[in-house]
Structure 1
Amino acid sequence: MSIAIGALAFAVLNLISFYFISAHAAWLSGLIFLVTLGLLLFLISFFRIPRRNLSTGDDLIVCPADGKVVVIEEVVDEEYFKDKRLQISIFMSPANVHQNRNPIGGEVVYNQYHKGKYLVAWHPKSSTENERHTVVIRNPHGELLVKQIAGALARRIVNYLHVGQKVEQSAEMGFIKFGSRVDVLLPPGVSVQVQLNQVVQGGVTVLAKWA
């Protein structure tokens, strides 16, 4: 939908430019074309969904998003678990694919949207103060919390899941528009497979393994 709206805006603006500007200021009409074409190409690139060989496995927890690992630390979760969890956070720049995927397969047992601020995505308080959408998926190994967090530019979080839904590992979970972050809260004792500052791919890179 966003790409269709962008393409329509591109066509309308350039038709107006051609009929009302080009005859008097061809350079301005050409500039409008180049700028709007650049914006359209960026929009298409941003919403791209590349074909990938997805990682699946009963013992695997895969990355829910493209980006860079910016946090690996123990935290106390106040929203759902009410105890200590291992948090791994992935920062997504505007250049990353912004499709989010299920890190594990199982049943959705919690789904909650929270209004909030728009701090930069790497801010320590963005996990608890920014606009965010939290999902918990349960399977025989345990429960996993995934939090989609809006950043300073991201102003819309899309989440396709609902409580009671059975989901497949690495299937699409949702989307965040324009620069954002995804937190995963893991049970203590899992075997972490990534490192700080590592570049990861959603649905491909193995984030951790169940103990």
Structure 2
Amino acid sequence: MSVLDSIRRQITPVHPEGYVFIAAFFVATLALAWLWSPLGWLGAIATAWCVYFFRDPARVTPLREGLVVSPADGVVSFSGYAAPPPELGLGARPMQRVSIFMSVFDCHVNRAPVAGRVIRVAYKPGLFLNADLDKASEDNERNGIVIESAAGVFGIVQIAGLIARRIVCFVNDGANLSAGDRFGLIRFGSRVDVYLPDSARILVGVKSRAVAGETVIAETAIDEPPRLFRQS
């Protein structure tokens, strides 16, 4: 392996959605530096953060049948039962849900939790409340996709947050996804909810850290007893 190849392996790529923002931050930094050099240093720090925010690292996704992986990097803020949004067409009956809150320091590229076919994409405008609040599931701007898999039907909802003002979805109806595939991105702080079929058993607790495409958040059709959690 050449030195250049080794360096490339250490550099995390930036998602193309971030190019325009990084360019804007860089231009603003030049303008600030021209006005007063200390402001230029502040702009440089903000530009570096913007590059970091739009990072798109490779992930190693476990592929055993029945595994459900996290769709987002962040902290589990909810694990239990909740009614899915009506636009998903999953009915009014409460379903198992795992909510993952992404801070402005988390990677914001979202990944498919299971392999399957996208049977619905539904966007709904709304408010921009703090995504860590439970009512954000009902009131905030959001985009939902429904994936039909061998284990059942899953609903994934991208929810805009207090700072987020743009939800990006890369897939359309009929798309076939593998577990861990990139399906969207939310800019600047947000949340992703996963609605799980009855066959699934949640394996993460509130305040657990999750890594998109890698952390197993649930399993389907398993016989082992439910897991308990404690904070220490």
* 3-state SS of 1:42 partner: helix
Deviation at 1:33, TM superposition (A): 1.7
Is residue 65 from structure 1 mapped to residue 84 from structure 2 by the alignment? Answer: no
Distance across 2 between alignment mates of 1:38 and 1:179: 18
Distance across 2 between alignment mates of 1:202 and 1:160: 16
Is residue 149 from structure 1 mapped to residue 170 from structure 2 by the alignment? Answer: no
State the TM-score, normalizing by the size of structure 1: 0.89
Aligned with residue 54 of structure 2, among 43, 47, 55: 47
Which runs of no fewer than 5 residues in structure 1 stay unpaired?
Answer: 22-27
1:176 to 1:107, Cα distance in 2 relative to 1, 3 A = same
Deviations 1:76-126 (A, max 9, x none): 235121122001100000000000000011110111000000110011211
Deviations 1:102-160 (A, max 9, x none): 00111101110000001100112111110000000001211000000000100000001
Give the alignment's Cα RMSD to 1 decimal.
1.7
1:129 to 1:37, Cα distance in 2 relative to 1, 3 A = same
Which runs of no fewer than 5 residues in structure 2 stay unpaired?
Answer: 1-16, 222-232
Distance across 2 between alignment mates of 1:5 and 1:188: 41
Is residue 171 from structure 1 mapped to residue 181 from structure 2 by the alignment? Answer: yes
What percent identity do the matched residue pairs reach? 32
CA contact (8 A) 1:56 1:170 kept: no
Distance across 2 between alignment mates of 1:78 and 1:116: 13
CA contact (8 A) 2:61 2:179 kept: no
1:25 corresponds to which residue? none
1:106 corresponds to which residue? 116
State the TM-score, normalizing by the size of structure 2: 0.82
1:134 corresponds to which residue? 144
1:81 corresponds to which residue? 90
Deviation at 1:59, TM superposition (A): 1.1
Distance across 2 between alignment mates of 1:138 and 1:151: 27
Aligned positions, number = 202
Computing the radius of gyration from Cα coordinates, the structure with the larger value is 1
Aligned with residue 212 of structure 2, among 182, 202, 207: 202
2:19 corresponds to which residue? 3
* 3-state SS of 2:138 partner: helix
